[in-house]
Amino acid sequence: MAILEVNHIQKSFGGTAVLKDISFSLEKGQVLSIIGSSGSGKTTLLRCLNFLETAESGTIRVNGKTLFDGENHKQLSDGEIRKNRLHFGLVFQSFNLFPQYTVLENVMLAPKLMKKAPAAQLEQRALQLIEKVGLSNRVNNYPCQLSGGQQQRVAIARALALEPDILCFDEPTSALDPELTGEVLRVIRGLKNADRTIIIVTHEMEFARSISDRVIFMADGVIEEEGTPEQVFGNPQSAKTRQFLSSSLEHF
Ligand SMILES: Nc1ncnc2c1ncn2[C@@H]1O[C@H](COP(=O)(O)OP(=O)(O)OP(=O)(O)O)[C@@H](O)[C@H]1O
Ligand SMILES: [Mg+2]
């Protein structure tokens, strides 16, 4: 069964349709990359999934449970929205760590606020996650003492701390210098190898091609093309996809 089913999502801003009837599904343990040019609606789609934006219509289902139904979304309480959000972990381009907290505190904060377990147990788990992203020697550092790549790895550990079903990345490396990109991509690859379900919006085409089980190419708020990496990168059917891919390759 699909872990995520998105059907007929529509979203507009000020009368301009930004997502036009988006439908896709994702199997547990799969990696889905979303590619597409600037303004095509990739971030808006992730934000709708994470309930940072409210779609106008459509449905979002996780593990067979309807989290969002455009027909009756106004009935959702704040508590329900907060609960729905927990199915997704979100890592942004700009890290967004809390500057006044150490690495350990950043990772522990949300589970602690939610009283997910006794503090000692939460700390143990946070330390394991920090180890997983390769930062055991930095637990007591503050974000300003870390490189961008290290900060992004803390953001990944923090997203994992709430044990989301699906981890969403929005251009996780585009704010990083090229030499720091690799360390973040390696951590994401490690998550795939640990069978995490992942959605990643990225401009790293080689990475998307090698890590993904599915690829979606978005253009002007629609899914222009979808398939395996071999299909979308190797044998694109749509002229828009071909044009996008060839202009992306020019950047190499
Ligand atoms: N809060 C908002 N209010 C009004 N318009 C918005 C808002 N958020 C996004 N948009 C518009 O929606 C469209 C899609 O934006 P979105 O950020 O989803 O694109 P994107 O594919 O993530 O682009 P990029 O690759 O540049 O990050 C754009 O035209 C953008 O200007
Ligand atoms: Mg974006």
Per-residue pLDDT tens digits of the chain, which is 252 residues long? 899 999 999 999 999 999 999 999 999 999 999 999 999 999 999 999 999 999 999 999 999 999 999 988 777 788 888 889 999 999 999 989 999 999 999 999 999 998 878 999 999 999 999 999 999 999 999 999 999 999 999 999 999 999 999 999 999 999 999 889 999 999 999 999 999 999 999 999 999 999 999 999 999 999 999 999 999 999 999 999 999 999 987 765
Residues 54-99 pLDDT 10s: 999 999 999 999 999 998 877 778 888 888 999 999 999 998 999 9
One-letter amino acid at 33 equals S
pLDDT at position 184: 95
Q: Whose CA is nearest to atom 26 of ligand 1?
A: 38
Q: Whose CA is nearest to atom 5 of ligand 1?
A: 13
Point out the ligand nearest to the CA of residue 12: 1
What are the DSSP E strand ranges found in the chain?
A: 2-13, 16-27, 31-36, 57-62, 65-69, 88-91, 166-170, 197-201, 214-219, 222-227
pTM score, two decimals?
0.95
Rg from Cα positions in the chain: 18
Of the candidates 210, 252, 243, the one whose C-alpha atom is nearest the C-alpha of residue 225 is 243
One-letter amino acid at 155 equals A
Q: Whose CA is nearest to atom 13 of ligand 1?
A: 39
Query: How many angstroms separate the CA atoms of 196 and 95, rounded?
Result: 20
Using CB distances shorter than 6 Å, the residues near ligand 1 are 13, 18, 36, 38-44
